[in-house]
Chain A
Amino acid sequence: MTLFLGAAMVAAAVVIFIIQPVAKGIHASLERADDELTETEARKRVALLALRDVEYDFLAGKLDENDYRSLKGELTAEALAALEADENARSQVGSVGSEDVEAEIRAIRLGLHEGSVPCPDCGYVNVTGSRFCSACGHSLQAGVAG
């Protein structure tokens, strides 16, 4: 008897638990949360990551200067396109990122647009916004800081 009571209670609890949302109209959200990466953000992230990888590969001696320059040119164009696409998407949705993020994006874009800052030490041409020279590591703090 106790057994049947136990089994009935388990079954009833399970049924109530799973039927309740439908019966009472409790809805789970199916919207994307605000802090999730959107597709354009993901593209932006991929573009910036690729730029970072090229810098890293060049620093580690895996790319020679010519390849590095041409790759960086292409990637910068891609990153810019991605940043702009992301910005457009944001303005359409009207979502507001934090001001820090906006400022960061502006700084990156400014850097990418304006092109380059030569290193005072070795003359290597860095992306504006870089704090350190990609070739020799010399501080570029006088440049536009992120």
Chain B
Amino acid sequence: MTVLGEFALWIALPVAIWGMFLGFFGGKTQRGDLVLSAERSIYAVTFLLSLASIGIIAAFLGDKYQYWYVASYSNRDLETFYKFAGLWAGQRGSLLFWALLLSIFASITVFQNRNKNREFMPYVAGVLQGIFTFFLVVLLFAKVNPFQKLAFLPADGQGLNPQLQNYWMTIHPPTLYLGFTAFTIPFAFAMAALLNGRLDSRWIVLTRRWVLLSWFFLSVGILLGMRWAYEELGWGGYWFWDPVENASLLPWLTATAFLHSIQIQEKRGMLKVWNMSLVSMTFLLTIFATFLTRSGLIQSVHAFAEQLRIAYIFLAFLGTVTAGVVVLILYRLPKLQSENRIESFLSRESAFLFNNLILVGAAFAVLWGTIFPLIAEGVTGQKISVGPPFFNKVNIPIGLALLALAGIGPVIGWRRASKRNLRKNFLVPLVATFVISATLWVVGVRHAVALTTWGIGLFVLIITGVEFWKGTRARARIEKEPLPIAFYHLVTRNRRRWGGYIVHVGIVLTFAGLAGASYNQDVRKHLMPGDTMNVASPWGHTYHLTYEGLSSSIGRGQRNLDWQAIALFSVREGNKALPNMTTEKRKYVTADQIMTEVGIHTTPEEDLYLILSALDNPSGALNNDPNAQGINLQVLVKPLVIWIWWGGLVLVVGSVIALWPSADRRRDLEDEAPEEPAAIAVGAT
């Protein structure tokens, strides 16, 4: 099976090249037979990449350690579940997995459009096959072939990094990859529009579902990554502005900008060049993210020098695509003129434009902070680190401005808004926000960033609530429906708008949770069994932790575990007893490092987070020596962390509402199309 998989990978390359040429040539000459062949080649590539992926999974499940990739990321004792996930555990498999996911999306696209949107399809097939060609060239010629064999047959593999043996980690990368690859479809349609010259908003109407889907997966993927870092990395945080994290944030920022700016093109026929640039930028950033995280570049520029070939191929691809997009946009510039212009500074359009500038600005700041150390190291040879202080300084104001726009945008009308109306609409929410913020200040919330974030968040919540209420009331009155029914119809008749507002609520909750970090408490102490440690919560209560002792085990328990030492604590909050908590040190046979498992007690107000920093005497502790029970404990109290994840859930609900297909197919296709004059008058549909 594995040999067949490798063979499939080799045939996939000529098939992709064939499809690329026939797609472009068939589109140019309008020859239906060539186009059909190009479209079929997409199905063929999907089939071949599936075979290759099955081959890799079969090698993992069958413990075939003659393959370098399997030997590096698995061993006999690894649980079957993680062997299956071996496909995306390392660089080589990930690249194949990336191509596989894209091929599945590509096949869905070709199938969906077999009888419609035919003027786009030749070029869509051509562009997609171009991207497959690139990935297959990387897989086969950049020394990252997952089927590469070792010169000898090892008895066992090196095993999977224990930190990756976590359920969040098994679903986090696929989710992120789904987001990355789904965005390729809008890019392919955008390029097809540039090539076939149909530059109205058709390509946007056709692909906005894909954009939403991609954005949804990117958001969930990023949140899952944060959750994994929080639970598994053992240092008490969820975001460290690490290059890998930044790489996933970059396309998210530009995709968010795109999601907003396409509405201006749809409604006003403006920003056509900008949207073309954004869709291309986002696509390039998904490729850049894959390059950054999967090329070994970030570990060290010098270690990376051994992998120059993959870097050249990636950079050549990024450069070619950029040049191609620029040339096509310049060529089509006369057809990309705006049909309208922004009429007033006070308008929804200009609010969206601000949102776009801020998001793209944030993306550039993050990009610069991420690649600057690499460039500096390459030039000077010195390792420079751009850490959280830089990113926080730049991105906190940017994030707050964005959050404020989520409140301001929905209230400003399209085209032009009068100052009098703005005053009328903003007065109540602003006063309410001010009163509650002042109350917070009086009760002791003095941290500037936290207070500002919560104040602005509150403002957005009030505005969004009022929008829902006004819409529901208008609909109830006009259609003579009871309020709950009116609310249901309001949302279902324009899912994108209201789903989007629900996503805004999710973002507010997440921001509120992030701002909780301003009140993090961090207490460290050396403890012997029986010792008690008191930790004050910013909410006023105090946690009393009593260290009950260590329990250790050698060579038992989970697979691949060398030993583990678990510290047990009984916990009281004031006089109330809480469930016991544990935190532990683990040593896996497959890794040299000793790992920390943290203990987390979660409430809506805060997380109590225990980190077993060090054992006084590990070998003594493992032999149950009563004098070797001392530990260093770090206790963090982290306010409002759960709101980050709750915000994520609300975001999922909002996105699903926005993505949900409408019952009426025609409406679904054109979404929001005014079906009858009454709809114009009712407005609230």
Contacts and interface: CB of A to CB of B under 8 A. Distances in A.
Interface string A7-43: 1001100100111111001111111110111010011
Contacts of A3: 3-4
Contacts of B666: 35
Nearest to B344: A67
A43 B200 contact: yes
A129 B678 contact: yes
Nearest to A50: B267
Contacts of A129: 677-678, 681
Contacts of B676: 104, 146
A59 B677 contact: no
Interface in A38-57: 39, 42-43, 45-46, 48-57
Given A127-B680, A146-B676, A146-B677, A30 B118 contact: yes
Contacts of A30: 30, 32, 35, 118-119, 121-122
A7 B7 contact: yes
Contacts of B202: 37, 39, 42
Given A30-B35, A45-B670, A55 B44 contact: no
B200 A126 contact: no
B465 interface: no
A61 interface: yes
A124 B273 CA distance: 41
A131 B678 CA distance: 5
A113 interface: no
B116 interface: yes
A36 B4 CA distance: 43
Contacts of A62: 411-413, 417, 421, 425
A137 interface: yes
A29 B120 CA distance: 11
A22 B119 contact: no
A33 B126 CA distance: 21
Contacts of B33: 21-22, 25-28
A45 B4 contact: no
Contacts, number: 197
B233 interface: no
Contacts of A18: 15, 18-19, 37, 40-41, 44
Given A17-B40, A22-B37, A37-B205, A134 B683 contact: yes
A85 interface: no
Contact of A28 (B11, B118, B421): B118
B119 A32 contact: yes
Interface in B17-69: 18-19, 22, 30-37, 39-41, 43-44, 47-48, 51
Contacts of A133: 681
Interface stretch (B286-294, B375-383, B471-479): B471-479
A26 B681 contact: no
B529 interface: no
A9 to B, nearest CB: 10
A107 interface: yes
Nearest to B676: A146
A48 B681 contact: no
Contact of B47 (A14, A59, A61): A14
Contact of A21 (B37, B411, B421): B37
A11 B116 CA distance: 30
B421 A63 contact: yes
A142 to B, nearest CB: 14
Contact of B681 (A31, A71, A132): A132
A56 B676 CA distance: 15
Contact of B11 (A14, A67, A111, A145): A14
A64 interface: yes
A129 B15 CA distance: 57
B269 interface: yes
Contact of A63 (B11, B22, B39, B417): B417
B674 A48 contact: yes
Given A31-B118, A49-B267, A132-B478, A61 B684 contact: no
A26 B200 contact: no
Contacts of A57: 413-414
Nearest to A14: B44
A54 B4 contact: no
Interface in A108-126: 108, 111, 126
B413 A63 contact: yes
A60 interface: yes
Contacts of A64: 418, 420-421
A146 B526 CA distance: 79
Contacts of B477: 137
Contacts of B47: 14
Contact of A27 (B18, B36, B205): B36
Given A10-B8, A22-B37, A61 B200 contact: no
B668 to A, nearest CB: 12
A6 B116 CA distance: 36
A7 B11 CA distance: 10
Contacts of B121: 28, 30
A130 B420 contact: no
A63 B419 CA distance: 9
A10 B15 contact: no
A56 B684 contact: yes
Contacts of B44: 14, 17-18
B149 interface: no
A121 B301 CA distance: 75
A2 B598 CA distance: 52
Contacts of B39: 28
B42 to A, nearest CB: 10
Contacts of B7: 7, 10-11
Contacts of A27: 31-33, 36
Contacts of B114: 28
30 contacts: A10-B11, A10-B51, A11-B7, A14-B11, A14-B15, A18-B37, A18-B40, A21-B33, A21-B40, A22-B33, A26-B33, A27-B32, A28-B35, A30-B119, A31-B118, A33-B115, A36-B116, A37-B670, A39-B198, A39-B202, A57-B414, A59-B474, A60-B474, A61-B424, A61-B425, A62-B425, A63-B417, A64-B421, A66-B418, A130-B677
Given A14-B11, A39-B202, 16 more contacts: A3-B3, A10-B51, A11-B7, A22-B33, A29-B115, A30-B119, A33-B115, A33-B116, A45-B673, A46-B267, A46-B268, A49-B672, A62-B425, A63-B416, A130-B681, A131-B681
Interface of B: 3-4, 7-8, 11, 15, 18-19, 22, 30-37, 39-41, 43-44, 47-48, 51, 114-119, 121-122, 198, 200-202, 205, 266-269, 411-418, 420-421, 424-425, 467, 470-471, 474, 477-478, 666, 670, 672-674, 676-685
Top 7 nearest A-B pairs (CB, nearest first) are: A27-B32, A57-B413, A130-B681, A56-B683, A129-B677, A62-B413, A28-B36
